[in-house]
Amino acid sequence: MPAPLKSFEFRREREASWRELEGLVGTAEKKGLKSLPAEQLLRLPSLYRAALSSLSVARSISLDQNVVGYLESLCARAYFQVYGSRSNFFESVGQFFAESFPAAVRGAFWPIVIAGFWMALGSAIGFFLVQNAPDWFYSFVPADLAGGRTPASATESLRNALYDGADTAERLYVFATFLFTHNSKVALMAFALGFALGVPTILLMFYNGLVLGAFLALYDDRGLLGELGAWLSVHGTTEILAIILCGGAGLVLARAIIFPDQNSRLDSLARRGRAAGTLAVGGVVMLLVAGLLEGFVRQLVTDVATRYAIGGLMLAFWLAYFTFSGRGRGYGDD
């Protein structure tokens, strides 16, 4: 029968590798992994696995608890260096906007197109119905959202609503905050409702289109459609696109449930849910930008041509950003 493995023999045979690992981990904790030479970086994983093996043996044969405690601490510290995050908060945020968000948009192209289609269809139907029967406006647009702009409003009142800005910085701040909060609720609801097989998401996209179409028809009836378009373009190219992205995120979740591919529904939802969550978070950030544009820029810039220019530049920026940023390095839905 072999003699029992004694604690001092166990340590004598392996302690050199433990000390080497401890030195590398200590250096990495103080100066970062980038401070280690290439050969030491290559040694780190193998030393970590050897320490794990030693810990397993030490536990199984009930060696000195001091040895077990030391190895547990060493392995935990080494784990965070081998598998832990390599970037700080600001690097993670930068990677999100430079790579992950635009790549997720490209990966969810068709769900986003479908969400946009239903909003566009709602806009067309809302425009047609209100144009032919103005009373439909009251069915589509809640009173608090209409803000006093109804078919009963005078033309001059509707025009003034397009140009009257807030008088103080405080009012601008309050207005921007309100718009961001309201639009974020709509966008996140469109995302969350994807779990219900996407049907509520589609209905929400369609309803928002009806509201938009109703306003377009109202102003078109008064000959103000061009001015309304300028008023909307400042923030709308960002805001509407953000809501569509969140709707597309909801449809990504729905597709994961309905068409799980070769994976189980739970695995498919977990995989695609990461891309959908990225879309939703990015969409909320876009809504913050839209709220600032709507609460400040749109209220301060009243020239029609300048408003269209700002809206066009924002649209061109987003299209270029989603098309080219992070290509080949991020992740998407597929």
pLDDT of residue 259: 87
pLDDT of residue 133: 96
Q: 156, 122, 160, 155: which is closest to 141 by C-alpha?
A: 122
φ, ψ of residue 188 to 5 degrees: the values are -70, -30
pLDDT of residue 243: 95
User: How far apart, in Å, are the Cα atoms of 138 and each of 135, 145, 209?
Assistant: 6, 11, 15
Instruction: Tell me the C-alpha distance between 323 and 310, whole Å.
Output: 20
Run of H or E residues at 150: none
Q: Where are the domains of the chain?
A: 7-86, 90-324
Instruction: Enter the pTM of the model.
Output: 0.73
| Residue 148 φ/ψ region, left for φ over 0, alpha for ψ in the -120 to 50 degree band, beta for the rest | left
pLDDT of residue 1: 39
What are the CB-based long-range contacts (under 8 Å, 24+) for 221-230?
A: 221/131, 221/134, 221/151, 222/155, 222/158, 222/159, 223/155, 224/155, 224/158, 224/159, 224/162, 226/304, 227/159, 227/162, 227/304, 228/162, 229/308, 230/162, 230/304, 230/305, 230/307, 230/308, 230/311
The one-digit pLDDT tens for each residue of the chain (334 residues) are: 344 455 677 778 888 999 999 998 988 888 877 788 888 888 888 998 999 888 888 888 766 778 888 888 888 888 888 876 556 667 788 889 999 999 999 999 999 999 999 999 999 999 999 999 999 999 999 887 787 889 999 999 899 888 865 444 455 555 556 667 778 888 989 999 998 999 999 999 999 999 999 999 999 999 999 999 999 999 999 999 999 999 999 999 999 889 887 767 777 887 888 899 999 999 999 998 998 888 778 778 889 999 999 999 999 999 999 999 987 554 444 4
Instruction: Tell me the C-alpha distance between 273 and 256, whole Å.
Output: 8
Residue 158: other Cβ atoms inside 10 A? 21
pLDDT of residue 328: 58
